[in-house]
Amino acid sequence: MSVLNSLKLDQHEGEYTAERQLLVLTQVLWMVFLFGLMHLLDAFSGERYFVLSYLGFLVAVQLFAPAEPTPRWWTYVQLVVLLGFFGLAYFVVTRGMEIFSF
């Protein structure tokens, strides 16, 4: 039996813990890799790290999106996506104001 199937046996109220665990693990690994790479290249900034982490999160969300029925934990993921979008919009507006010097 594969690891994914064995993790699916540990379901609680229809929630797929395997997809949730893979999503979290993928995001953590991406953020650790990104942090190390940016420091290695001496290109770290909070804005860049947030934007690239958020883009990685969007990719992971698309990869591990659960099939129907939608589990309860997925609504929290969608909330994080929405909050991240507002953070991204803030950085875009701030950067645009710096460029056009408002």
What does the alpha-carbon distance between residue 16 and residue 5 come to, in Å, rounded to a whole number?
10
Q: Which domain holds residue 64?
A: 3-99
Q: Which helix (H) or strand (E) holds 3?
A: helix 3-8
pLDDT tens-digit map of 53-62 = 999 999 999 9
**Residue 10, pLDDT score:** 44
Domain count, the chain: 1
Bridge partners for 12 per DSSP: 15
Rounded to 5 degrees, what are φ and ψ at 12?
-130, 115
pLDDT tens-digit map of 81-94 = 999 999 999 999 99
3-class DSSP state for residue 101? coil
Lowest mean pLDDT among 2-11, 36-45, 69-78: 2-11
**102: pLDDT confidence band, cut at 50, 70 and 90?**
low
